[in-house]
Structure 1
Amino acid sequence: MAKVGYARVSTRDQNPDSQTDALVAAGCEKMFIDQASGVLARRASLDAALEYLRPGDTLIVTKLGRLGRSVRNLKDVAEWLQDHGVGLKAISQGIDTTTPGGRLFFHLLAAIAEFEHDLIVERTQDGLAAARARGRTGGGGVKMTPTKAKQARSMYDERIYTVQEIAGTLGVSRGTIYRHLSPGTGGS
């Protein structure tokens, strides 16, 4: 029954010492540390920690936000831990899924966070629908006028300029140039 610590800092410039100090104080015998953004799909040290853990072990983090990229991801990790007989403790939030009360508290927090996320999505969709009903569409303004599209095509066909140079000249991105150069876009 090992206590395994996991810490994550978002950038190489940040220092994980405060997290590792708290994990040592919590009795962690082994630690895994990632220095990567939480939004990355793959975090090598977290993957290694999950592979290392055995039934009866406890994964300890300073905060739940260090463990999951999103509420859904956090819930997935917590379910994986539970399915594999591994406990989860979040020091600063007082969550300990090795106890019935801790599991209940964790699931309540996860449910509330998921509900809040769903409300935000719903409000956003309602706002977009209302804007569309008034004739407004999302996204940025038109970047390529027909004149600019013809100029882009002409410059491209000359085979003197790179797409990057054409984009810079016209004040648009390379993606915009490529979209207007592809067949069927009206720019060809």
Structure 2
Amino acid sequence: MRYGYARVSTIEQDTSLQFAALKAALCDRIIEEKVSAVKPRPKLEELLASLRPGDELVIYKIDRLARSVRDLVRISERIEAIGAKLRSITEPIDVGTPMGRMVLQILGVVAEFERSLIRERCMAGQLEALKKGKLIGRPSKMPLQDQNEVIQLVGCGIPLKDIGAAYGVSEATIRRMHLVAIGKTDRFTGPVRKLL
């Protein structure tokens, strides 16, 4: 059986280009996943577990399967151990040969390097935006008036869980708003904050 695997990193992205290419490659079944390659990929794990000797796993591009060389090698060795084959539509390599495995690893290194460059550029852009006083991240879904009410309710000693239930947000969200309001933390978290 020929399986196709299409993956994009976020819900907003579309797999239609990959799907069309996998369909043209005559895949019997195409599995789509919308999750970052650095997070657990349950559909890929399910697919790998269902592979049998003689099956073929077709991907649009190597970086759709893995974002690190270690992960790529692990997946390709797992496929090979089953007796199945791995094929990339845009990178015609034969992973059944030593040369093909070397090229596969080189492509994996290039994909990992490209991902690092993109991350670096994003962080640099976020840092510049912060220096200019721009807010980074998603805007709050809760109106400013409700946020002020929440902060006052926390100050009155009402349990965070009860406030969260009343406003339809999690207890962690209420705690974060309170910590920002009293100056124990700021709105910016993650790698950008560490650069400042």
Corresponding residue of 1:86: 84
**What corresponds to 1:25 in structure 2?**
24
Distance 1:95 1:85 in 2: 17
The offset of 1:105, in angstroms, is: 2.2
Aligned length: 132
Distance 2:51 2:82 in 1: 9
TM-superposed deviation, 1:47: 1.5
Q: Which amino acid aligns with 1:16?
A: T
1:62 matched residue in structure 2: 60
Residue identity in the other structure for 1:70: S
SS at match of 1:96: coil
Does the residue aligned with 1:60 lie in a helix, a strand or coil?
strand
Residues 7 and 103 of structure 1: CA distance in aligned 2, closer, same or farther (over 3 Å): same
* Deviation (angstroms), 1:159: 8.6
In the alignment, which residue of structure 2 is the partner of 1:11? Answer: 10
Q: Give unpaired runs (5+ residues) of structure 2.
A: 114-154, 161-174, 187-196
Note if 1:46 corresponds to 2:44: yes
Instruction: Name the aligned partner's letter for residue 54 of structure 2.
Output: G
Say which SS state the counterpart of residue 5 (structure 1) adopts.
Answer: strand
8 Å Cα contact 2:53/2:82 also seen in 1: yes
Counterparts of 1:1-188 in structure 2 under 5 Å?
A: 2-41=1-40, 43-99=41-97, 101-110=99-108, 160=157, 164=176, 167-173=179-185
Shift, 1:13, TM fit = 1.8
- The structure whose Rg is larger is 1
- 1:118-172 CA-to-partner distances (Å, cap 9, x unmatched) read xxxxxxxxxxxxxxxxxxxxxxxxxxxxxxxxxxxxxxxx994876465223423
Contact 1:88 1:95 in 2 (8 A): no
Partner amino acid, structure 2, of 1:103? R
Change (3 A) 1:13 1:166: closer
Q: Structure 1, unaligned stretches of length 5 or more?
A: 117-157, 175-188
Distance 1:10 1:115 in 2: 14
